[in-house]
A = this chain, B = another copy of it.
Amino acid sequence: MTRTPKHIKCLDVTLLGHADCLNCVIRKNDIFADLDVKKYDKLLKRIIDLRYETDTMLFVENSPAVELFIVRKGIVKLEETLDDGSRRIIRLVKPGGVAGLETFLDNGQRFDQTAIALIETEVCRIPYSVLKEILDTDHDFYKAVLNEWHNQLESSNELFVQISMGSLRQRVARVLLILIDEANRNGQLEINKISTDDFAALTGSTRESVSRNMAEFKRNKVLTKSGPKKFRFDELALREIANDSD
């Protein structure tokens, strides 16, 4: 039923240096948006800037939640392993979003999901101690955290709705649109191919069925191969398919 799991890397991580929150573009949209960054300058130096290659793991389900990750570039998937051994992707974290929010909960908390870079991804890694210090000195910071939880819930619900209704054809189109949304921020008209197994875990389907739908998209020029692992897409056609109610 499940294919021999592909090799999830743990080491393909590059240290890019210390975070530069003061000049970070992403920060304007994330959890630190309203924070007085200058005040916490020294503290924020403890934030590390990292690059994860495709299929590299950020953290594992059930391990202690002692740090969280803000995605600056790329996409992180959060997946759970089910009783029968299959995987289900619960949420996709895109730039500005947070993976590992459990870190904000009380001591001894563990990660609910496994986080893996879906494509090449850059993140800021923030230790619990930094968060705790900010929470203790800035009594309003918890509001930003509450907001982030809200965002997560919204984004989970969004995925839920997008993916638990309609034909597989529609669901595949919707997942492509989610990925495209990300590609478009970089002004590309291309998407990095993700594996059919990931598509299956996202749409709650099988690799074969996903493949068939993709093949149809390619035949109809909704997708066109444009490089080794890249595809050009017809966004309008995809939107039409995603909303098609026939």
Q: What residues of chain A have their CB less than 8 Å away from a CB belonging to chain B?
A: 1, 80, 82-84, 86, 88, 90, 101-102, 104-106, 112, 139, 142-143, 145-147, 149-150, 152-154, 156-157, 159-161, 163-165, 204, 243, 245
Copies in the complex: 2
Contacts of A101 in B (CB 8 A): 150
Is B164 a contact of A164 with CB atoms below 8 Å? yes
- With A139-B139, A154-B112, A245-B84 known to touch, is A90 a contact of B161 (CB < 8 Å)? yes
15 example contacts (A-B, Cβ-Cβ < 8 A) are as follows A82-B161, A84-B245, A90-B157, A90-B161, A105-B146, A112-B153, A112-B154, A146-B146, A146-B149, A149-B150, A152-B153, A153-B153, A159-B160, A160-B160, A163-B164
User: How many Å lie between the Cα of A149 and that of B144 in the bound state?
Assistant: 13
Is A204 a contact of B152 with CB atoms below 8 Å? no
